[in-house]
Amino acid sequence: MCIDSNKCKYLSVLAAKPESARRCHALAGRPTPEHNVIPNSYRDIFMSDRDRILYCKSFLRLSGKTQVYAPSTGDHQRTRLTHTLEVSQIARTISQALNLNCNLTEAIALGHDIGHTPFGHAGEQMLHEIMSPKKENNYNAPKRTTIYELNKNEENTYQSLYGFKHNLQSVRCLVEDLESRRNLYGLDLTNYTLWGIMHHSSLEYKSTKVDTNTLKPSFYDIYMPYCNNWSDEAAWSFEALVVAEADEIAQMHHDLEDAIRRKAVTKEKIITTLKNLYDLMDGADKTTLKHLEQEKWVPREYLIAKTSKIIVNTLVTTLLKATHENLFNLIEDNKPNTFNENASEEEKIKMYSESAKIVLRKCYKEREIKLSIGYDVLKNNNTENTKKIRDFQHTIAKAVINAHDVQRSDSKGKYIIKNLFEAYNTNPQQLPDSALKNLYKILKADGFKLKNQTDIDNNQEFFNIESDELRDVINDAVSRIRFDDPKTGKDKRRDILIMRIICDYIAGMTDSFAISEYEKLYG
């Protein structure tokens, strides 16, 4: 790949600037200690975001969460953690080649799956169906959930409480009570990092994925102030789009790797799949593919190594070429009328920065970039190349996702989550103290008068409150909510708030912990 170094200088004007970032608590009007806002001399604000994510508990738990195959099924299967690290590595490579902000890219990449559930996307879809208005003949949902008894008018009233999606949950997890540091709420990340995490994946489900009428979760609406209402220039970044593409590339190569290790696909099937990318490969990768095809027997680990190299190298190179040329042409088309071709390099870059801002606003408002930055969305697209990449992606999905053991594992995961939710919703006192404290705070914030509230609020050591006293408060609150007049709208709302706390708790579990909890509850 050959990229004009002078043109790369122009790309750098699109890189996110640390000085323009804002901590989310400041944007939401929350007080933040001074030392928590100003980075030190050798770390900028995006490096601080990266490190806060890296050391948080939710990040540690990713090692026990399913990517495609359950972690317990083999020592060399991908987990959410290894997937996250691969996304980070690929995203940094792309960002560095495009002269973007690698620190922001890494922060977004490390945090992009923080809110993921146990049991992969199957667990995510199950929680969405539980937390959404009931669709006719939906038998997946637990029985005891008032959210499914709302009429049309009430659905509109409680719309902001509906649904679940892992990218939206990641924002909720990082800015709210689910991750506390130094007695602060959340990690207090920047708006740029949060925007990138939220938009690494689509904001709604496809109708074929979930059994519910609600395809776009709305529970994140109350967190919009943390990114300054997602305004055109407040949090949008080109680095976020890089992470979204790196996420897709990482999934394609490691899903196929895992399938090879489990003997779910034959060598012949792999060769046929890779041929979808043949015209996009460089000479060395074409030679490697021909060699693999001609050999009657190839050691499995050798096949895995060569397959991954071909996939990552081809997709990253194609992405960089297309992005560079397309974006440069887009900037050219929008450059200022006062542009002087004879100006010095420094003057050209300064003038291009004005052009780049126009491009940013245009792409965001008109969705000209969306979540793809190279294959088929920008100008001068190559629809034939796009089709080849999509066919390749579809072939891998069919070979891996539809495999017998994957489908069986997904169904088991959904069953466990459904029954865990039923148990906790029937008796919230089965939740641990950490979840009950969050429930106390969310009910208090909603205006519900809690037993002994004054005494608890005056207790500066609330987080060390005795377990029995806390459970007495929660038991009293839940009983009054669920046995008061059913016509009272607030009671229905608060019942849904209880469900949201249960949803948060289950979403944070690892696979093994969820299975252990299920066995404790159901034997």
What confidence score (pLDDT) does residue 88 get? 96
| Residue 281 in tokens | 């490969």
Mean pLDDT: which of 26-30, 319-323, 336-340 is highest? 319-323
Query: Are the beta carbons of 107 and 174 closer than 8 angstroms?
Result: no
Measured distance CA(148)–CA(169) in Å, rounded: 21
Average pLDDT of the residues in 438-467: 71
Measured distance CA(518)–CA(522) in Å, rounded: 6
Whole-prediction pTM value? 0.87
Query: Are the beta carbons of 86 and 250 closer than 8 angstroms?
Result: yes
Measured distance CA(489)–CA(156) in Å, rounded: 12
Is pLDDT at 213 greater than 90 in this prediction? no
Categorize the per-residue pLDDT at 379 as very low, low, confident or very high, splitting at 50, 70 and 90: very low
Higher pLDDT, 458 or 174: 174
Q: What percent of the chain has pLDDT over 90?
A: 20
Buried b / exposed e across 247-270, counting CB within 10 Å, b at 16+?
bbbbbbbbbbbbbbbbebbebeeb
Sketch out the chain's domains with CATH numbers: 23-240 (1.10.3210), 265-401 (no CATH), 412-522 (no CATH)
What confidence score (pLDDT) does residue 22 get? 81
Higher pLDDT, 480 or 75: 480
Hey, how many other C-beta atoms are within 10 angstroms of the C-beta on 420?
Answer: 23
What confidence score (pLDDT) does residue 261 get? 80
Categorize the per-residue pLDDT at 338 as very low, low, confident or very high, splitting at 50, 70 and 90: low
Categorize the per-residue pLDDT at 331 as very low, low, confident or very high, splitting at 50, 70 and 90: low
Greatest extent of the chain over all pairs of C-alpha atoms, in Å: 78
Average pLDDT of the residues in 426-433: 88
Hey, how many other C-beta atoms are within 10 angstroms of the C-beta on 208?
Answer: 6
| Residue 330 in tokens | 């887009």
Mean of per-residue pLDDT scores for the chain: 77
Measured distance CA(140)–CA(175) in Å, rounded: 30
What confidence score (pLDDT) does residue 372 get? 45
What confidence score (pLDDT) does residue 142 get? 61
pLDDT single digits (tens) 45-96: 999 999 989 988 889 999 988 877 666 566 667 789 999 999 999 999 999 9
pLDDT single digits (tens) 225-272: 666 554 545 788 889 888 988 998 998 888 888 778 877 778 888 888
Query: Are the beta carbons of 273 and 50 closer than 8 angstroms?
Result: no
Measured CA angle at 495 (ends 126, 452), to 5 deg: 135
Categorize the per-residue pLDDT at 21 as very low, low, confident or very high, splitting at 50, 70 and 90: confident
